[in-house]
Structure 1
Amino acid sequence: MPTMMSFSTLSLRALLLLGVWHPGRRSFILAASFQEPPKNIAVVGAGIGGTAAAYFLRQEFGPAVKIDVFEPDAVGGRLATVKIGEHEYETGGAVIHPLNLHMKHFIEKLGIPPRKDLPSKMAIFDGKELVFEESDWFFVNFFRMLWRYGFGFLRMQMWVESILDKFMRIYQYQQFGYSFSTVERLLHAMGGDGFLTLMNQTLEEAMIGEGFSQVFINDVIAPITRVNYGQSVRVNGFVGAVSLAGADSGLWAVDGGNKRVCTGLLYNSKSELIPARVTSISVKVRPSKKGNTISLYEVNYVGESGSAHSLYDIVVIATPLHQGKSDIVFSGFSPPIPSHYSGLYHQTVTTMVHGKLNVSYLGTSEPASEFTVSDILTTDSKGCAINSLGSLDPVHIPDSYKRPSASHTTVWKVFSPRPLSQEQLQQMFLSYSSMSETPWLAYPAYRPPHRKTPPFILHDRMYYLNAVEWAASAMEMSAIAARNAALLAHHRWHEQVGKIDQEDLHTRLRGEL
């Protein structure tokens, strides 16, 4: 991976070695000029965004503040597992990129090991037959791709790496305490006008502009966007690039399930989990000890014990404020805060099948005993009812475990835009002992041109993490938004605005050196 010397004379590795990754260092240096810390903070949602927010808020505001995390369902949100037979399997967010520094930091801090890596093979299915099947031999795969697409695959990796190089700038900004009030400003700090341009064109348009052929886009790029976001190459160029990064080598997952990061962050932050659904938030004005008035947020919620409410200095919303995802009512705010922002979340149905695959469904004559492909991607063709089909390994890999061939009963995960019919399941599987179906509103429907995203700042001291999903939805994007919200809350509470919406880090670093 090329370094970012054009952005800063200090590399990420050097910054980490200098210790500036730890946010407490900055807070300690500036503590003398701070006001009293807040007493109570509410975080609504205990997915990766909410639990990461609790973790970063604790680091920013110290041990005295009380942090409550509201979650009506299981901790983890869209990171979830299901038990089938003797093992648990990942049903939600599955893989993490090697350059996702927040996620790497979390598991190191929490002492959670990465999952044991197993070799895998990929194939591409057009609804009738396999148009590509990966070989066990690297050079065979390389020359097959070279013969069919020229150097398109290598050029794609170079294009994605150039975008990742810019993406990595956000870690330097956050290490030095910089925060941003809108998604657009955050993206501009990463990649300048180029990232905003990507948001306003489709991935297909961006790649044609870079000289990629339509055949390569249809055969290689579309299957990747379909498996990662359930959508075509007409998603915006930025989320498309994030999707392509998700096809990179070195991807990893957490031993025992990715949701363990959420439970670990919650515990590490010393937050109190309140198993309740937040129904409304309003502003309450109260007299202060100094004789003036202060405004607090009243959070109303419903749990097993009935309705209740509590007052908070700061509120962080870490659940999507969109139709079908949340029904929080914001009352008494001027200007008003909508309960639902515009835009729709895209439905992807996850079907977990414990059964024996019918390899003839894939149009291959290969015997099931020799079919060892674990990941089947699909092209964007009318005859294809699924987005992907994958053989799952348990979230914890036993030492004696070997991934079975298709002739054995195993667990398969099918992504599809709609629930699969009984007829479709019978076509895909010779037999199955169990089947579970989960419809996810997993990520936004990405339709450029880019409309203005919801703000990170909903009100004076109320922040909204999930605005970032309208740029791209991923575990690391949620963690970046969580760090950004904690920094915003910290700077605005202490009335230190010098590191909000500024892009002068490069200049400052050069001046300090």
Structure 2
Amino acid sequence: MLWIILSILRSIPLVGSFFSENDQSLYPVVQRLLKKTRKIAIIGYGVGGASTAYFLRELLGSSVELHVFGDGEVGGRAKVVELAGKKYEAGAVICNKKSLYMGALTKKFGLKKAMVPDDKFAIFDGIHFVFQSTASTLVTTLTLLWRYGFGIFKMLSYMHKQWRNFTGIYDMQRKGETFTDPAVMTKAMAMGNDSFYHLTQISADEHFLKELGWGSKMVNELVSGICRNIYSQNISDITAMVGAVSIAGAEAENLYTIVGGNFQVPMKALETSAVEVHNARVTKVSRVVTPDKTSPSFVLNYTEDEVVGQSEYWDAVIVACPLETSDIEFVGFDTDNWSSIKKLKFHRTVANLVHGKLNPKFFGAGEHKALPQVILTTQMKNPPVDFQTIHVQYPVSLNAQEAATIDTAQVYRVASSEPLTEDQLNLIFSEYTDHTVVDWTNAYPEYNVPENLGSFVLSDGVYYVNCIEHISSAMEMSCIGAKNVSLLATDYLHKQDQ
């Protein structure tokens, strides 16, 4: 895979030792029990909503009654589908061992990790491969240096620095620090020097080319390919922060998936948090005054099993689904904080999972030439088929050793902006026997420069997890947003106790 880039350079003496794995474990949590039992409604049971429930139960123990409302399958964008008799990830795929919360939850729930194999990769410009790795680490390393120069080492150093700064958020959250919005959070990170906030206000290409002085060939081919692989958007359209997160997702040695499917993390989080789960679509959140008029309260209207329902009274509401695309109506609120959010868009990404063999001729390769397991793309001009990336998708039932024994690809995942037609599939594949399409209309934000980061606080007692996606969208980011919102809600309810 593309992540071989960094693992190759790690094998170089004195270089690899500089980039060590984050060995932090989950910090002990001090419970803050309330004097009076409170009720919290969480809307959404993807990674963000489920981890919010988990963190709230840790913080508030038995002094809180938790209800989670969700429409569809538990896990949200962490989803598996079946193809050719096996199950494959169709949404969020990769976890990083440096991500404290996802790693801790995986360990807590007794789930097994499948480390990402160091697959071969190539970069496709719409006509031919401009770069292709080989089975030889030495040859690939020399080829990388020949084409991109010592900018490769700059990228490694940059990635290490950003990871080191980023992990400061865990220490702040351990201390109970809260942030009302992502702008405040990013300014507090990186030892308070505003560097992360700056990255949300400048484009990736301007940052890498002008501010860092990386070579244009490396940025337009390698970095662009990595960003398109992770977020399916061009480096001129995304923020430098999103670009930095993309590069951080290029570490083979630290990347893994969860055997059986990543959706198990949110599923287990709900199971262990003693929550009541409602398979229901929330349509309205209303702010009301309780009969005793001591504090504001909230009412939810929802549809469950085609039956319209209403629930009273909630002491706090946490929204853990994208408001940008939601039709939830908010009544009785000052809507300034979310009116700007509603104007933002989410990006559509289609996962075309295909059981077949790639066509070497389409990629300008010889008829019998072996193709890599991962194909990145540059910002192609008028390509015969418009796609962002192609990579082998291993069954979720495989562990690392079993995945490494697969000699020929059986299932490929092709990321595109629209479902591929039969004619397009016949161009990319010399033959295929089965395929399925998962159309993520709300895959992640349609990033803008500068980025509108939104707010975690929609109103007193109402909080929004998913605004953290405007920093960058990832399972670990959802957990960080969930932790912050859980701390905010805990502080709010303790004030109500006084």
Question: What TM-score comes out, normalization by structure 2 length?
Answer: 0.89
1:171-250 equivalences in 2 (<5 Å) = 171-191=170-190, 192-208=193-209, 209-234=211-236, 235-249=238-252, 250=254
1:349-368 equivalences in 2 (<5 Å) = 349-365=350-366, 367=368
TM-superposition CA deviations, 1:99-135 (whole Å, max 9, x none): 1010001011111111255341111111111121111
Which amino acid letter does the alignment assign opposite residue 397 of structure 2? Answer: H
What is the SS of the residue equivalent to 1:252?
strand
1:259-270 equivalences in 2 (<5 Å) = 259-270=263-274
Which amino acid letter does the alignment assign opposite residue 272 of structure 2? Answer: N
Q: 1:358 to 1:278 in 2, by over 3 A?
A: same
CA drift of 1:2 comes to 6.6
> What's the C-alpha RMSD, in Å, of the aligned pairs?
2.2
Which amino acid letter does the alignment assign opposite residue 419 of structure 1? Answer: P
Give the match for residue 66 of structure 2. 67
* Partners of 2:54 and 2:273 within 8 A in 1: yes
CA drift of 1:479 comes to 0.3
Give the match for residue 81 of structure 1. 80
In structure 1, distance between residues paired with 2:456 and 2:115: 37
What is the SS of the residue equivalent to 1:63?
helix
* Partners of 1:282 and 1:298 within 8 A in 2: yes
Give the match for residue 285 of structure 1. 289
Q: 1:254 to 1:12 in 2, by over 3 A?
A: closer
1:454-469 equivalences in 2 (<5 Å) = 454-469=454-469
Q: 1:357 to 1:3 in 2, by over 3 A?
A: closer
CA drift of 1:162 comes to 0.9
* Partners of 1:285 and 1:296 within 8 A in 2: yes
In structure 1, distance between residues paired with 2:229 and 2:148: 21
What is the SS of the residue equivalent to 1:171?
helix
Which amino acid letter does the alignment assign opposite residue 483 of structure 1? Answer: K
In structure 2, distance between residues paired with 1:237 and 1:336: 27
In structure 2, distance between residues paired with 1:315 and 1:170: 24
Q: 1:269 to 1:404 in 2, by over 3 A?
A: same
Q: 1:3 to 1:366 in 2, by over 3 A?
A: closer
* Partners of 2:298 and 2:314 within 8 A in 1: yes
What is the SS of the residue equivalent to 1:270?
coil
* Partners of 2:46 and 2:76 within 8 A in 1: yes
Which amino acid letter does the alignment assign opposite residue 318 of structure 1? Answer: A
Out of 9, 22, 26, the residue aligned to residue 28 of structure 2 is 22
Q: Percent identity?
A: 33
Is 2:478 the counterpart of 1:478? Answer: yes
Which amino acid letter does the alignment assign opposite residue 45 of structure 2? Answer: A
Give the match for residue 252 of structure 1. 256
In structure 2, distance between residues paired with 1:2 and 1:41: 45
Which amino acid letter does the alignment assign opposite residue 294 of structure 1? Answer: S
Which amino acid letter does the alignment assign opposite residue 309 of structure 2? Answer: A
What is the SS of the residue equivalent to 2:96?
coil
Question: Which has the higher mean CA deviation after the structures are superposed, 119-128 or 479-488?
Answer: 119-128
Which amino acid letter does the alignment assign opposite residue 262 of structure 1? Answer: P
1:6-405 equivalences in 2 (<5 Å) = 16=25, 21-23=27-29, 25=30, 27=31, 35-115=34-114, 117-191=116-190, 192-208=193-209, 209-234=211-236, 235-249=238-252, 250-288=254-292, 292-310=293-311, 311-322=313-324, 325-335=325-335, 338=338, 341-365=342-366, 367=368, 370-371=370-371, 373-384=372-383, 385-397=386-398, 402-405=405-408
Which amino acid letter does the alignment assign opposite residue 333 of structure 1? Answer: F
TM-superposition CA deviations, 1:157-194 (whole Å, max 9, x none): 11121111111000000111111111001111112321
Which amino acid letter does the alignment assign opposite residue 486 of structure 2? Answer: A
Give the match for residue 416 of structure 1. 416
Give the match for residue 9 of structure 2. none
CA drift of 1:201 comes to 0.9
In structure 2, distance between residues paired with 1:83 and 1:335: 42
For structure 2, which runs of at least 5 residues remain unmatched after alignment? 1-16
CA drift of 1:390 comes to 1.0
* Partners of 1:116 and 1:255 within 8 A in 2: no
* Partners of 1:48 and 1:79 within 8 A in 2: yes
What is the SS of the residue equivalent to 1:293?
coil
* Partners of 2:225 and 2:378 within 8 A in 1: yes
What is the SS of the residue equivalent to 2:333?
coil
In structure 1, distance between residues paired with 2:18 and 2:349: 35
CA drift of 1:144 comes to 0.6
* Partners of 2:115 and 2:255 within 8 A in 1: no
TM-superposition CA deviations, 1:265-295 (whole Å, max 9, x none): 010111111001000000121233xxx5332
In structure 2, distance between residues paired with 1:298 and 1:50: 19
In structure 2, distance between residues paired with 1:432 and 1:130: 22
CA drift of 1:64 comes to 3.7
Q: 1:37 to 1:122 in 2, by over 3 A?
A: farther
Q: 1:303 to 1:205 in 2, by over 3 A?
A: same
Question: Which has the higher mean CA deviation after the structures are superposed, 42-51 or 128-137?
Answer: 128-137
Q: 1:309 to 1:336 in 2, by over 3 A?
A: farther
* Partners of 1:38 and 1:313 within 8 A in 2: no
Give the match for residue 500 of structure 1. none
CA drift of 1:200 comes to 1.2
Which amino acid letter does the alignment assign opposite residue 482 of structure 2? Answer: A
* Partners of 2:345 and 2:445 within 8 A in 1: yes
* Partners of 1:202 and 1:233 within 8 A in 2: yes
Question: Which has the higher mean CA deviation after the structures are superposed, 191-200 or 51-60?
Answer: 191-200
Question: Which has the higher mean CA deviation after the structures are superposed, 86-95 or 279-288?
Answer: 279-288
CA drift of 1:419 comes to 2.4
Which amino acid letter does the alignment assign opposite residue 84 of structure 1? Answer: L
Give the match for residue 510 of structure 1. none
In structure 1, distance between residues paired with 2:390 and 2:144: 22
Which amino acid letter does the alignment assign opposite residue 439 of structure 2? Answer: P
Question: Which has the higher mean CA deviation after the structures are superposed, 247-256 or 87-96?
Answer: 247-256
* Partners of 1:232 and 1:380 within 8 A in 2: yes
Q: 1:3 to 1:38 in 2, by over 3 A?
A: farther
In structure 1, distance between residues paired with 2:463 and 2:72: 21
In structure 2, distance between residues paired with 1:461 and 1:207: 40
Which amino acid letter does the alignment assign opposite residue 280 of structure 1? Answer: K
Residues paired across the two proteins, number: 468
* Partners of 1:2 and 1:165 within 8 A in 2: no
Is 2:443 the counterpart of 1:442? Answer: yes
Q: 1:366 to 1:433 in 2, by over 3 A?
A: closer
In structure 2, distance between residues paired with 1:41 and 1:197: 35
* Partners of 1:3 and 1:165 within 8 A in 2: no
CA drift of 1:236 comes to 0.6
